[in-house]
Structure 1
Amino acid sequence: VRYAFELAKSTGRKKVTAVHKANIIKSTSGLFLDVAREVAAKYPEIEFQEMIVDNACMQLVMRPEQFDIIVTTNLFGDIISDLCAGLVGGLGLAPGANIGVDAAIFEAVHGTAPDIAGQGKANPVALLLGAAQMLDHVGQPENAERLRKAIVATMEAKDSLTGDLGGNGSTMGFAQAIASRL
């Protein structure tokens, strides 16, 4: 929770929303919400909002612009991240980050996609956007932005897109098209 507020502070974000189910799962989700409230009190300059997960999912579909940073537990985070991936075009476009005090892991939300492994069908964008998140995290925002711009330019040009994006390109072809724009 503290990381969410520190991230908001360091990136100029204005609001952190704690997504929970403390009304039903009183012990674990209640504890999460108690901790979120304690941490929020130490960051009075950042707006703090509490939202039950059911409503948060609906609000993400209806009015996603109201959110800035969402902090939640692993279970709800998994569900919400897939919902958000659907809002932007699917799992092939969504990176994921699990950031702790001492370690961070960046990934494609869709995981390893074992059903298409080795077939050259996987969309590399989610993993590359995860790499951009990692670059931001390690203090290389310029390189992260270069990578994001190369991805956007490749997608706008419809160059070597994979099947999930309506193209007939391969994983390698799509990745090479992005790399050529770096």
Structure 2
Amino acid sequence: MQLVARPGQFDVMVMPNLYGAIVSNIGAALVGGPGIVPGCNVGREYALFEPGCRHVASDIMGTNRANPAAMILSATMILDPIANSIAAATFDVINSGKVRTADMGGSATTSEFTAAVIEQLKP
């Protein structure tokens, strides 16, 4: 309840996997949905970079309607320093509001969003 009512009070939250999944889904809902939030799980020997929300989106699977922002931003965590330009291009596309997938109130496809990010990267 506190995460929804006053999310700014939290800085770092450490919890078991089940509660982490619940909290990441709540956090994703607060900022725009599962297609927006990047994620990283770090262990002693391995790190996994994936969208931060565990939404399977089976209702849009194979339809070219998913928002690829979370996947792109998760990948940028691995690619530093090139990642900064990819992340900036992704945020520029999101902030411009011109190319929006359905979860952001638009009708752009996954391919159209990705193409807009690639276009933003060009000098």
Q: Give 1:181's aligned residue.
A: 120
- Give the aligned partner of residue 159 of structure 1: 98
* Separation in 2, partners of 1:180, 1:110: 29
The gaps in structure 1 that reach 5 residues or longer are 1-57
If you compute each CA radius of gyration, which structure gives the higher value, 1 or 2?
Answer: 1
Mapped pair 1:70 → 2:9: no
Residue in 1 that maps onto 2:74: 130
The corresponding residue for 1:50 is none
Aligned-residue offset at 1:112:
4.5
Specify which structure has the higher proportion of strand.
1
Runs of 4+ in structure 1 deviating by more than 4 angstroms, as ranges, are none
Instruction: Report sequence identity in percent.
Output: 41
Q: TM-score, normalization: structure 2?
A: 0.86
- Specify the alignment match of 1:44 in structure 2: none
Give TM-score scaled by structure 1 length.
0.60
**Aligned-pair CA distance for 1:110:** 3.8
Contiguous gaps of at least 5 residues in structure 2: none
Aligned residues: 120
Paired amino acid for 1:179: I
Quote the residue 1:144 is aligned against.
83
Equivalent residue of 2:106, what SS?
A: coil
Aligned AA (1:128): I
The code of the aligned residue for 2:31 comes to: V
Distance 1:144 1:59, change over 3 A: farther
Letter in 2 for 1:117: M
Deviations 1:58-83 (A, max 9, x none): 22222222222211110100000001
Contact 1:159–1:174, Cα closer than 8 Å, also in 2: no
Report the secondary structure of 1:71's partner residue.
Answer: coil
Question: What is the Cα deviation at residue 128 of structure 1?
Answer: 1.0
1:106 and 2:49 correspond: yes
- 5 Å-filtered alignment, 1:25-40, equals none
Distance of 2:104 and 2:31 partners within structure 1: 12
The structure, 1 or 2, with the larger RCO (C-alpha pairs under 8 Å, 6+ apart) is 2
Counterpart for residue 22 of structure 2: 79
Correspondence for 1:49: none
Distance in 1 between residues matched to 2:78 and 2:64, nearest whole Å = 24
